[in-house]
Amino acid sequence: MSVAVYPGSFDPITKGHTAILKSGLVAFERIIVAVLNNESKQPLFSVAERMEMIQLAAEEMGAEPGRVEVDSFDGLLVDYAGSRGAQCILRGLRAVADFEYELQMANMNRHLNTDIETVFIMADDAYFYVASTLVKEVARLGGNVAELVPAAVQPRLLAKFDK
Ligand code: ADP
């Protein structure tokens, strides 16, 4: 079975992320969306909150049961992917700014484990400029982000910012 790990901060998940997930499901039988447990990034949402929103977003997408799993990890991504039986790491590519960082990470991960390939999917042009950081900033300032995030995310963002 073709299995990919889709790792990220997902703080919170956006429609840019779900577009990658949807495209990824064309290529892979099963995708494990893996939330990086990294407190040094000072996330807005806890890992449990982020995982819950991803689960709800997968249901909203209508993903077939068993094809999307939500998990969290820390430590080396290639070790995690190997332990989960994944052959690939799935990443999304947005503007030019993503490219250098992603290339560096993909090369490092290949150096660490030549059996695991990084696969990129180009961002949906509707969400090319959507980033979790920007969505949080707009929501904090009272802007409407309803069209940029899955339905479960907007009320949770509003609650965080007391809106
Ligand atoms: P990280 O901190 O690992 O970059 P993110 O949650 O920001 O975690 O992103 C996870 C993955 O999803 C990355 O590959 C990122 O490029 C991709 N991604 C984020 N936003 C979008 C978007 N709007 N369209 C396509 N891919 C995206």
Tell which atom from ligand 1 comes closest to the C-alpha of 130.
Answer: 23
One pLDDT digit (tens) per residue for the chain, 163 residues: 899 999 999 999 999 999 999 999 999 999 999 999 987 889 999 999 999 999 999 999 999 989 999 999 999 999 999 999 999 999 999 988 899 999 999 999 999 999 999 999 999 999 999 999 999 999 999 999 999 999 999 999 999 998 7
Q: For residue 102, what pLDDT is reported?
A: 96
Q: For residue 41, what pLDDT is reported?
A: 81
What's the gap in Å between 11 CA and the centre of ligand 1?
10
Whether the model pTM is above 0.85: yes
Q: Buried (b) or exposed (e) across 132-157, using 16+ Cβ within 10 A? A: beebbeebeeeeebeebbbebbbebb
Instruction: Give the strand order in the sheet containing 68-73.
Output: 68-73, 30-36, 3-8, 88-93, 117-122
Q: Coil, strand, or helix at residue 67?
A: coil
Q: For residue 39, what pLDDT is reported?
A: 77
Q: For residue 138, what pLDDT is reported?
A: 96
Element containing residue 24 per DSSP (H, E): helix 15-27
Q: For residue 105, what pLDDT is reported?
A: 97
**Active-site annotation, residues:** 17, 41, 94, 132
What's the gap in Å between 142 CA and the centre of ligand 1?
23
Tell which atom from ligand 1 comes closest to the C-alpha of 120.
Answer: 14
Contact, 70 vs 30, CB < 8 A?
no
Q: What is the set of domains in the chain, with CATH numbers? A: 3-160 (3.40.50.620)
How large is the angle between the packed helices 15-27 and 47-61, nearest 10 degrees? 60
98 CB neighbour count, 10 Å cutoff: 15
What's the gap in Å between 91 CA and the centre of ligand 1?
7
